[in-house]
Each structure stands twice: as structure tokens, then as C-alpha cells.
Structure 1
Amino acid sequence: MAGTLSIHFTHADFRHVRFARSPDPMWEAILGLHVLATPADRLPARLRAWRGRARERVRRAEVRGAFRLLNDLAPSDASYWPDFLTPAESEEGLAVGLRVLRETPPARLERELREASRHRPLPAWTRRLAAGDRALLDDVAHALHHVHGSLLAPDWSEVEATGAADRARRMEALEGGLGAVFASFTPFVWRDPVLSAPYPVDRTIHLRGRGLRLIPSYFCHTRPVAIADPRLPPVVVYPLHPDDPPGPPHTDRQDAALARLLGTNRARVLAALATTRTTGDVAARLALPASSVSGHLTVLRDAGLVASERAGLHVMHRLTARGRHLLGR
């Protein structure tokens, strides 16, 4: 049964809203596994492509074992999974997050696994974990590390670049105030002082001056996910690429006018950046030489229509607000 997540702000909370600079590696490991477990026809196109690549990687025995262990704790259809799997400290990196996970106090393990058992039957081995079995907890940390390294790391530069592009859009919206930023988050709805979104169950969070940390997620694709324990700092993970309704399609006449304005190939390059891409991606998509695409991107960037940011070994390109406006998106 579908519900609503309602987050209630006070004036004090607005001073403590934080926007994560990039997706969180431990959240992404869990949510990436959820994508693998989701039928392809229920995923957006960008994640169908990733799922196809990742399913080849998950055929290895050690990856399958990690998948099964983590799926026992945090299945894709769960309305709750233990918060100790996604510690706040992982914002400092995967190594720090895994260290904190390994140090989870036994009382917290017991409390959160007991809560999980209220929502669904748990396998027998989780009783030993709930009792504080440190070797099992180390196995959980190893599984997360293995999933991240085997399934996510090959595409992590794209994940980070997409997060950077999302952050730039939020900062543009900030010119209209924090309420305008909240209004820019799909599938959230902002009605001062409540931020709400679809959720598996009805849930209300009163921030009470603690503020809120918002984390973008490449693999979260339907609705946001919130930290469950009200004693922990409030955290909400939101989809980086919601399936927004498309804008009005260009007519042939508009496309022809854009081609006359920019040149045919330059207009094609601009349109190809409807999603964040590398130079090579654009070149392959349009069957153009990479050197030619690079030149077009330079001109479009100088005109303020495209922004480029380095992410690991790649440079990622995205439309600016001006570029989206020119394309009618």
C-alpha cells in the first residue's frame, strides 16, 4: 500500500539543510543491488543499460554470495532495512563507512534487526548477527566492499559526474531561495513548511531544529529513501534522474531553425546532452569524429549552453539552464 513521506521543517531547520556533494558509496551499493533485482521493464533506460552490464559481472561466484547476503538484509521490496548498513560517516568515503559499520554496537544491531523482523521474516543467520557476531558483521562489510568494487566502481565516474550536474542545477535553483530548491526536487512536493513525496508507507519526520541532509542517488529511481531511526541525524536519499514528464517535443520546423542557428552537427551535439555524457559517448551516439565533437563542445561551452566537469578519468558534459531553455527542456 502506497503512502507519503512528510518532512516538517521549522525555521531553525532551514539553517541546517545540507546537500551532499556526490552520491554516497554505501547507499549506492544497496540501491544498485535493488536495481539488479528489479525487472528491466520497470527501470528507466539509463538503468536498464547499467543492469545489463552488471548482470554479467554478478555471475562470478563471490559477487553472487555478496548479493545473497545483502539481499537477506535489504531486499529491494523492503519497506525497512537496518540503518547500520548506511552510516552517516560514509560521506567521507567507502573506507570510513565500512570501518564504522564494523564498529556497530551490539545493542544497535539487535535493535535494528528486531525492527526488520517486524516487517518480514529474516533468515536464521541474522540471529547471530543480532547477537553481536563480529565475524558476521565483517562479512557484511566485505559484501558491501565487494559489491561496490565489482558492480559500481567501473561506472563510478559517471555516477559522480551525474551527481555534480545535479548539484549544479540545485545551486541554480537556490537563486530563488531554499523553497525554490525544494520545489525543484522531483518527486517531492514543497508546501511550506512540509516537503513530501511518495513512500511505501505513511511516514512523518519532524526535524525539530536538526536540519536535513539530502543525498543524490544514481540508482534510486522511483521514490526517496529516508533513515528510519528518529534518533539518528535525518537523511533523505533522492533520485538523481526522476522520470519527469517530457517537455513539448520540437517540431521539424523548430529543429531546422536550431540547425540554421548553430549548424546541423552542433545542434545534434547539443541535443545529445539531454543526459550527461562524455565526449566519446556523444561521438559514438552521433557517429561523428571525437575531435569534431570536442570542437563543437568547446563552442557550446563558451556560449554558456554546456558545462563540463571532470569525474575521475572522464570529462562529463551536461546542458546548462540556458542550453535546456534553448532546446525547450
Structure 2
Amino acid sequence: MPFHLHLDENDLLRCRFALSPLWETQAAVRTLLRPRRHGYHQPWLRRIKGAASGLDLRPLWSLMTDGGHNPDFLCPPPTGPYVAFEDEIAAVRATDPELVAQDLKLTLADRPGGPHSPDGRALLADPARTLRDLADLLEEAWRTLIEPDWSRLRALLEADVAYHSRRLAEVGFARLLGELSPQLTWTDSTLTLVGMRGRHSRVLGGQGLVLIPSVFAWPDVVSGYEPPWPPAVIYPARGIGGLWTEPGASTPQALARLLGRARADVLCALDEPAGTSTLAHRLGLAASSVSAHLSVLRAAGLLTSRRYGHQVLYERTPLGIALAVPE
């Protein structure tokens, strides 16, 4: 059934992008529950298999079904564009237990047996303890699954926001939504999400909308936050097809002979805009070396750069794109 979010002019003025390491954490947990749905992440799934086996994720998985309501308190929309995981999980821990109980009842209503099932009664018997246990498990999942790769994930998410912010300025909000995902349409001040299970309709009432790119959401768009949580739409980030590509795997040999292997690898690693530290981590090179290569490539007209947030992002020019085409 379609989801409908009704916006007025004040909501449009308050629409913003944000990143959420907490969302990526719970989405990674969900990916482990249904690994076959996520072909793009098979290299990551193989690599973290051993570490993930030490986590008992069943309490979280029991609340993560495809249909119906999922607990909003486990991943509330971020309050700012760049919120640290530590701040997000602190906000989760500070949730009122009464609100946790209400949210769990909504979630359990879509499960066999509902709130009166043995599992439902156990969760609702002590909402404060349930909250503490689930937050502890999310924090453990963050340390094990996401934090080791967060610089790589964050770079891709920041590049997505930079790209779509530019597209917002170029084409406007209505057209941008269709570019975020074909599941999003805009008609008569109403944002419709198709392909969703269940039914959801919300008048935003001037709160605005948080747009959150996600590495692990593909191919879905996610929404459905209930008050008091702010409305949000989570959409698949651009560029996940090359997220786990090994350094230099796509560098044409002819380009490596022309520019030198390291410099060619830097150029070819920029399928999406990225900063110096991200490229250094991705390619296993010193940041100073990557910085020098970026300067040469930019001076040669193969790259352009712009400041976004706390860092400078580099991306290929049309000439750089043409040179980096695989053989």
C-alpha cells in the first residue's frame, strides 16, 4: 500500500539531508538476517562473517519483519546533518520507557500472538530493561559491523548528499525525489512512497522532512515514522555497486602506464566524490601521497574539487571520466 506524507510550504523550507551511523547499524543487522537480498554486499558479508557469528542478534531480528511496524525508538531520525553514533545511541537510551512500550505494542500487533505472546509479554514486562538490552546490542553491532568501515561508508554517503544537494539546486524538489528512487512520487504537495507494505499517512505540519541516504537500504525506500519522532525518508545511496571494490581492480592497464599506477588508481577510485583521507584508506596509500596525486590530476583538468562539510571532495571531470573507462 502507498505511504503518503503531506507537506506544506513550511515543510519544504525545512527539508534537509542527514547521515545516520545508527541507521546503518540496524540496517546492517537486517542485512545479516536476509543476506541473499543484498548481492552488492556479498564481499562485506563474507569478510565480517566470523566477527558477526559472535553476536546474538536474535532480539533485534525478532523486531525486524518485512511487513508491519518496526520500532521507531531503535533508530530515530538524526537531529543534525552529521551526528556521531555515540550521540545517537545516547538519545536511544534516553527514550521514555512509556514511549518504548507504546512503540513495542505497535510492533507486536503485527506479529503472531501480538503483545500477549510469550515474547511480547517478556519485552513489555520491563520496557526500561528491554530498551537497555537492545541499545547495548546495537552498540555492540556498531563496534563489530560498521565502525571498522565507517570512514568508507561515510565517504560514500557524504558524496551522495553532495550530489543530490547540487541536483536539488538544479532541478528542484519534485524532480529530485524521483531521482532518489523510482518509489517516490510528488503530486499536489504529497510525497507518495509506493511498494511499501502496510498503510501510513502523515501530515508533517511544518516539521520538515529528513532525507537519509543509506548504504544498506537498497533496493528499498523506508519511511513510516510515527509521532513524536520527526518524519524521515531513507533512500538507497548512489555508488554502492563499487563500495567494496578492491583498490586498483578497475584501473585500465593503459592508463596505469600513462599516469603511473598509484595516480591512475586515485583517478579510478573516484567513481563517487571522495576526500583525501577516504582515498588514502581505500587505496592503502599515505594521505600525503594521495594529496599530491590529487593536485596533479586536478591541475591536468581530470578532477574538480569543492568543499562539503568538514572536507574537500574530489570528483572526475568529463575528461577524467573518459580516461577511467575500463578496458
State whether structure 2 residue 151 is matched by structure 1 residue 157: yes
Q: Give the drift of 1:174.
A: 2.8
Match of 2:226 in 1: 229
SS in 2 for 1:215: strand
Contact (CA 8 Å) 2:279, 2:290: kept in 1 or not? no
Superimposed CA distance per residue, residues 198-225 of structure 1 (whole angstroms, 9 cap, x where no aligned partner): 4332543332322111112121111121
Q: CA deviation at 1:140?
A: 1.1
Partner residue in 2 for 1:97: 88
Q: Does 1:216 align with 2:205?
A: no
SS in 1 for 2:212: strand
**Of 70, 95, 104, the match for 1:81:** 70
1:86-119 deviation line (CA, Å, top 9, x unaligned): 1345754333333332333233222212211221
Cα deviation, residue 139, structure 1: 1.0
Q: Could you say what secondary structure the match of 1:160 adopts?
A: helix
The change in CA–CA distance for 1:283 and 1:86 in structure 2 (over 3 A counts) is closer
Change (3 A) 1:220 1:324: farther
Structure 1 residues 144 and 13 mapped into 2: Cα distance closer, same or farther (>3 Å)? same
**In 2, distance between residues paired with 1:323 and 1:203?**
46
Give the match's secondary structure for 1:219.
Answer: coil
Please give the root-mean-square deviation of Cα atoms over the aligned residues, in Å. 3.9
Residue in 2 that maps onto 1:143:
137
Aligned pair count reads 300
Distance 1:141 1:227 in 2: 21
Letter in 2 for 1:236: V
Q: State the distance in 2 between where 1:129 and 1:146 align.
A: 20
Query: CA-to-partner distance for each residue in 1:10-41, whole Å, 9 max, x for gaps?
Result: 22211111111x2x12211210011112234x
Q: Secondary structure at the match of 1:73?
A: coil
CA contact (8 A) 1:305 1:319 kept: yes
1:109, 1:131 within 8 Å by CA — same for their partners in 2? no
Q: Percent identity?
A: 28
- From 160, 163, 173, the equivalent of 2:167 is 173
Conserved? CA contact 2:68–2:107, under 8 Å: no
Q: State the distance in 2 between where 1:161 and 1:268 align.
A: 17
The residue identity in structure 1 corresponding to 2:22 is M
Structure 1 Cα separation of the partners of residues 134 and 215 of structure 2: 22
The answer to whether the 8 A contact 2:11-2:206 is kept is yes
In 2, are the aligned partners of 1:301 and 1:308 still within 8 Å (CA)?
no
Contact 2:16 2:211 in 1 (8 A): yes
Cα displacement string for residues 248-267 of structure 1 (whole angstroms, at most 9, x for unaligned residues): xxxxxxx99x96xx869667
Partner of 2:91, secondary structure, is: helix
What residue number does 1:49 align with?
A: 43
Deviation at 1:180, TM superposition (A): 4.5
TM-score of the two chains, using structure 2 as the length reference: 0.74
Structure 1 counterpart of 2:205, which letter? R
Match of 1:7 in 2: 5
Q: Which residue of 2 aligns with 1:58?
A: 52
Other structure's SS at 2:298 match: helix
CA-to-aligned-CA distance 1:118-147 (integer Å, 9 cap, x gap): 212366344243244423321111101100
Distance 2:218 2:90 in 1: 28
Aligned equivalents of 2:302, 2:195: Cα separation in 1: 38
> What is the CA–CA distance in structure 2 between the aligned matches of 1:325 and 1:184, rounded to whole Å?
21
Range 9-18 or range 146-155, more displaced: 9-18
* CA-CA distance at 1:155 after TM superposition: 0.5
Cα distance change, pair 119–280 in 1 and its aligned pair in 2 (3 A): same
The answer as to whether partners of 1:36 and 1:55 remain within 8 angstroms in 2 is no
Instruction: Decide whether aligned partners of structure 1 residues 321 and 117 sit closer, same or farther in structure 2, where only a CA change above 3 A counts.
Output: farther
**Residues 230 and 102 of structure 1, relative CA distance in 2, 3 Å threshold:** closer
Structure 1 residue 35 corresponds to structure 2 residue 34: no
Name which of 116, 140, 157 aligns with 2:107.
116
SS of 2:109 mapped into structure 1: helix
Which moved further from structure 2: 88-97 or 160-169? 88-97
Structure 1 contact 17–212 (Cα < 8 Å) conserved: yes
Equivalent position amino acid for 1:240 in 2? A
Superposed displacement of residue 283, structure 1: 7.5
Distance 2:127 2:150 in 1: 32
- Give the SS at the match of 2:62: helix
Please give the alpha-carbon distance, in whole angstroms, between the structure 2 residues aligned to 1:158 and 1:280. 8
| Cα distance change of structure 1 residues 243 and 129 upon mapping to structure 2, 3 Å threshold | same
Deviation at 1:243, TM superposition (A): 7.7
**1:199–1:323: structure 2 CA closer, same or farther, 3 Å change rule?**
farther
Shifted more, 109-118 versus 270-279: the winner is 270-279
> Residues of 2 paired with 1:293 and 1:223: CA distance?
35
| One-letter amino acid of the counterpart of residue 74, structure 2 | L
Normalising by structure 1, we get a TM-score of 0.74
The counterpart of 1:204, out of the listed 193, 201, 211, is: 201
